[in-house]
Structure 1
Amino acid sequence: MMGHVPRDRVRNQPVRRIEEYLDPDPMPRDEWPATLAPVRQLLDDGLELGPVTVLVGENGVGKSTLVEAVALAFGMAPEGGSTGSGHTTRPSESDLWQHIRLVRDFGAARSGFFLRAETMHGFFTYLEQNPNPKRPEPQFHERSHGESFLDFVIDRARWPGLWLLDEPESALSFSGCLALIALLQSIVEDGVGQVILSTHSPVLAAFPDATVLEVGEWGIRRSDWADLDLVRNQRAFLEAPERYLRHLE
């Protein structure tokens, strides 16, 4: 059984709170993405984060928009990478990041990593094309999608800072999701980093002692794992898949 993540072990969080940045003007609430209830709630009320924060919810409700905005406001590339990375191909991000302020703990690390399963191939190509002569990279392209994803986390695991992950289960099997939890939990327990991830996986949503936030048309609400729509729906499907599949005919 994996260990508990004591709150007092994770000191100096890179992001303690997210709130609206009012200089020069507030973000118009009638313009996307502020028209999304979770984004509007974040701007109106702010959002407190813990050592591990998990965002869950349906497609299109704003999970990735929120994670992406935090990454950009923290100085990361929108398609993944570390702080200061120049990796980008086709800009598609919103300007939400220009309207939020990240409240840090004093002395917190300012480095971090943003991992997006959907853009990992391009990110690994970027690393190959821009090698660090002082620190050769592992050959991520020579591994499977899931293996390379975990290899990247292992390779950077001792670097302090903020870990942002957007739907990493896209690259991972069931056992791979468990392995990722173990890696990230070790990073948090050692006081090295803070984790924010969005997911559709009930496995990743079960991250021990995480603050679980359900995102939807209602906005953002804190929830217990067993009460998540994600968990209840998948549990019901596994118990009787025929009840769902017959409606597809």
Structure 2
Amino acid sequence: MDGLFDDSFDEPGPSRDPFTDLALPVREVRGHPKAPADPATWPATVPAVRQVLREGLALGQITVLTGENGSGKSTLVEALAGACGLNPEGGGTGAMHATRSTESPLAEHLQVTRGAGAPRSGFFLRAETMHSLFTYYEEIGVGGMMHERSHGESFLALVEERSRIRGLWLLDEPESALSVAGCLALLDRLQELAAGGSQIVLSTHSPVLAALPGADLYELGEWGLRPSGYDDLELVRTWRAFLDEPACFLRHPD
């Protein structure tokens, strides 16, 4: 991935704290001027992906992406992992495992602007490949016998074991492994990681994880990618409506 990093120091946008941003592993991601994506080919045809390629996306210390399936959340997180040199199937910097490649070629078309002196280490957790990641870590002796625990227990244990990594943390729909209590436990750990200086980018369908304190929230859809307040997120409004009156959402046989 040589050439994908841009260490220039243009002034950050007015909504950002320049002193904080300069120390972040990733200050911005945008389309690479020397490796443009074909705008007529997936995933550049996805509105949120197209917007990032054209306009770029400035990242704060914590970024949460929400939206329906197919809106581009996982595609962007996976591509960011690849552009930052992380294994597209998950793991820390230097993880080498591979099963079947399913990620898009988007990473090849992204340029990442890094902060001055920011750590280049990182960790990527991807729901779709978590089982193979557990197997890989068992084989190299990390985290114990992970397959002997429940999926959620193994996931939280791995986060705990890897939490010594300070740098970029990317998580793609981690709630797939977790109960509500597990999501709350993950929130606590993510807050500790952020307090320790790590940067977090998270895609989720969970209103619990979307409540991560201090996060910049973005909602993805046919409009592209837009900032949002927590109460305005579609996933939050839908969950609240369902919990208030679940019968309204359920079809009953005649």
Common fold: TM-score over 0.5 = yes
Give the corresponding residue for 1:3.
none
Residue identity over aligned pairs, in percent, reads: 56
Between the aligned partners of 2:224 and 2:252, the Cα distance in structure 1 is: 30
Uncovered stretches (5+) of structure 2, i.e. residues with no partner: 1-16
In structure 1, distance between residues paired with 2:146 and 2:136: 11
Of residues 151, 155, 164, the one that matches 2:157 is: 151
CA distance in 2, matches of 1:233, 1:122: 33
Distance 1:95 1:41 in 2: 17
Give the alignment partner of residue 217 of structure 2, picking from 207, 212, 215: 212
Deviations 1:180-237 (A, max 9, x none): 011011111122x110010000000011110001011110000000001101111111
Equivalent residue for 2:84?
74
The answer to whether the 8 A contact 1:7-1:51 is kept is no
Which amino acid in structure 2 is aligned with residue 60 of structure 1? Answer: G
Q: Is the 8 A contact 2:143 2:157 kept in 1?
A: no
- The separation in 1 between residues aligned to 2:54 and 2:75, in whole angstroms, is 16
Matched, 1:113 2:119: no
Report the equivalent of 1:96: 106
What is the rounded CA distance, in whole Å, between the counterparts of 2:128 and 2:104 in structure 1?
Answer: 17
Is residue 254 of structure 2 the alignment partner of residue 235 of structure 1?
Answer: no
Distance of 1:211 and 1:72 partners within structure 2: 22
Is this contact kept in 2: 1:213–1:222, CA < 8 A?
A: yes
Aligned to 1:21: 32
2:40 equivalent in structure 1: 30
Equivalent in the alignment of 2:23: 12
TM-score by length of 2: 0.89
Query: Pairwise CA RMSD of aligned residues?
Result: 1.9
- 1:246 corresponds in structure 2 to 251
Q: How far is the alpha carbon of 1:130 from its aligned partner? A: 3.1
Shift of 1:88: 1.5
Given candidates 37, 40, 45, the residue that maps to 2:55 is: 45
Shift of 1:124: 1.1
Question: How far is 1:10 from its partner?
Answer: 7.9
Contact 2:86 2:94 in 1 (8 A): yes
Divergent runs of 4+, >6 A:
6-11
* Alpha-carbon shift at residue 116 of structure 1 (Å): 1.4
Distance 1:15 1:247 in 2: 49
Q: How far does the alpha carbon of each residue in 1:6-53 deviate from its partner, in whole angstroms, 9 at most, with x for none? A: 997786111110011121x42111110000000000011000011000
- Aligned equivalent of 1:182: 188
Tell me how many residue pairs correspond in the alignment: 238
In the TM superposition, residue 120 of structure 1 has moved relative to its aligned partner by: 1.4
